[in-house]
């Protein structure tokens, strides 16, 4: 597509979901460096998310993590979000931070632990009913550290049983997103290590079960855009958890480590119709050393830039070169789009949306950063686990 009005329309309708946990403190297992002004409650996380939406115009939803965002009244939280121009997005379940889950959650050898984990997942669907969220995101830390520790195939049976119980509980418009990760915290065998495992479970479950591709959850060198193309073709790509990695699950700002990879992924999304087929473009990031709100704004902008470049690929010229076996010509068409400076185009898109063409500068000048540092004194800052 290189029809500029159509490119602009696609960019205006793109929505990037920001994660509540990216607004809180985070770190590595070595140290969490607390930052002044960090939210102390889910409501304050939404206040910050509203800033991201105000300055980017394309971040209208916020993913919650349960229990990190537990509140008494989820309907009231949804209303709080709405009053700030936001909606609550995916509900992320957490069956990895309780002592009972040392040997797994839904795949644990003990049926009582499996029941406890399943009850949490079902409770997350109740929360979705109250928040109006469409998606339940499932990531399991389940796996084993040593050969022989547990029966690999039996664990798949237990996983399938739990997934099926959750699937049955979903409403008509609700979906479950199964996220895979090839290692960590289990090191020998992870129960949902790759897209193939996630896909196989989702296929058996039915159309409301879709795969979530977290870009940080692959071995180095993995061709993620191939996975994206394949899942889109099979109508099983439900969502992205976007982030960047240099080594492991680094959770850095998306597009920071390898903007070319993000472009290649977004090209397959555009090519496969993923911009309009309900794929959720979510961030799953932690900002350990950089200020959080501008880092999230930057991440949203990086997704927009990659999307704009992907939309600018001259698909007719590419198809002609591919048909003609013109290897270098085809590659040049893709690189031309990648090498286009799309910042002026995005500035125009923002002006047409009625927002400042420079989101980073506008946020900086807004005084919000100083205000939250001054106002958010006392209380307990939110973090990974609270
Ligand atoms: C696991 O590493 C993961 O990617 C899952 O999406 C979790 O819910 C999230 O990180 C927590 O940050
Ligand atoms: Mn993730």
Q: Atom 11 of ligand 1 has which residue's CA nearest to it? A: 284
CA-wise closest residue to 296 among 39, 15, 38, 19: 19
Q: Are 120 and 93 in contact (CB under 8 A)?
A: yes
pLDDT tens per residue across all 386 residues of the chain: 569 999 999 999 999 999 999 999 999 999 999 999 999 999 999 999 999 999 999 999 999 999 999 999 999 999 999 999 999 999 999 999 999 999 999 999 999 999 999 999 999 999 999 999 999 999 999 999 999 999 999 999 999 999 999 999 999 999 999 999 999 999 999 999 999 999 999 999 999 999 999 999 999 999 999 999 999 999 999 999 999 999 999 999 999 999 999 999 999 999 999 999 999 999 999 999 999 999 999 999 999 999 999 999 999 999 999 999 999 999 999 999 999 999 999 999 999 999 999 999 999 999 999 999 999 999 999 997 65
3-state class of 151 per DSSP? coil
pLDDT value of residue 108:
98
Tokens 């997350």 -> residue: 124
Rounded CA separation 117/230 (Å): 31
Q: Where are the domains of the chain?
A: 14-310
Architecture per CATH, domain 14-310, reads as: Alpha-Beta Barrel (3.20)
Ligand 1 mutation target, pool 26, 89, 177, 241, most atoms within 8 A of CB: 241
pLDDT value of residue 384:
79
Ligand 1 centroid – CA 145 distance (Å): 19
**Helix 42-56, helix 292-312: angle, nearest 10:** 40
Which ligand 1 atom sits nearest the alpha carbon of residue 179?
Answer: 6
pLDDT value of residue 386:
57
pLDDT value of residue 325:
98
Tokens 């990031």 -> residue: 285
- The answer to whether the CB of 214 is under 6 A from ligand 1 is yes
Q: Could you tell me the two tokens for 263?
A: 């472009």
- For the entire predicted model, the pTM comes to 0.98
Ligand 1 centroid – CA 65 distance (Å): 9
- The answer to whether the CB of 21 is under 6 A from ligand 1 is yes
Q: Could you tell me the two tokens for 80?
A: 């709080």
- The answer to whether the CB of 179 is under 6 A from ligand 1 is yes
């Amino acid at each position: 597509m290189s029809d500029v009005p159509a490119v602009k329309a696609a960019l205006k309708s793109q929505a990037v979901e920001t994660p509540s946990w990216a607004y809180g403190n985070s770190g590595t297992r070595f140290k969490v460096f607390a930052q002044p002004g960090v939210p102390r409650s889910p409501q304050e996380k939404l206040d910050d998310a509203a800033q991201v939406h105000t300055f980017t115009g394309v971040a209208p939803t916020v993913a919650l993590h349960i229990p990190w965002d537990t509140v008494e009244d989820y309907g009231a939280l949804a209303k709080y979000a709405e009053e700030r121009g936001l909606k609550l997005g995916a509900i992320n379940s957490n069956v990895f931070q309780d002592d009972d889950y040392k040997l797994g959650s839904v795949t644990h050898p003990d049926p009582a632990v499996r029941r406890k984990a399943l009850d949490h997942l079902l409770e997350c669907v109740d929360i979705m009913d109250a928040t109006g969220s469409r998606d339940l995101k499932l990531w399991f830390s389940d796996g084993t550290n040593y050969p022989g520790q547990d029966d690999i195939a039996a664990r798949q049976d237990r996983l399938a049983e739990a997934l099926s119980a959750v699937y049955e509980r979903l409403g008509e418009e609700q979906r479950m997103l199964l996220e895979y990760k090839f290692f960590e915290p289990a090191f020998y065998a992870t129960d949902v290590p790759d897209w193939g495992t996630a896909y196989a479970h989702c296929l058996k479950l039915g159309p409301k079960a879709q795969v979530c591709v977290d870009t940080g959850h692959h071995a180095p060198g993995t061709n993620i855009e191939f996975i994206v193309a394949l899942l889109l073709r099979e109508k099983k790509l439900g969502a992205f958890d976007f982030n960047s990695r240099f080594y492991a699950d680094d959770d850095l700002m998306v597009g920071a480590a390898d903007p070319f990879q993000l472009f290649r992924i977004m090209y397959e999304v555009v090519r496969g119709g993923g911009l309009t087929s309900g794929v959720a473009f979510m961030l799953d990031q932690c900002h350990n050393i950089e200020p959080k709100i501008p880092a999230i704004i930057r991440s949203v902008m990086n997704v927009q830039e990659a999307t704009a470049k992907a939309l600018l690929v001259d698909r007719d010229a590419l198809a002609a070169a591919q048909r003609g076996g013109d290897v270098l010509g085809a590659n040049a068409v893709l690189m031309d789009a990648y090498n286009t400076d799309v910042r002026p185009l995005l500035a125009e898109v923002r002006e047409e949306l009625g927002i400042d063409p420079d989101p980073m500068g506008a946020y900086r000048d807004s005084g919000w950063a100083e205000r939250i540092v001054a106002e958010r004194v006392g209380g307990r800052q939110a973090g990974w686990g609270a």
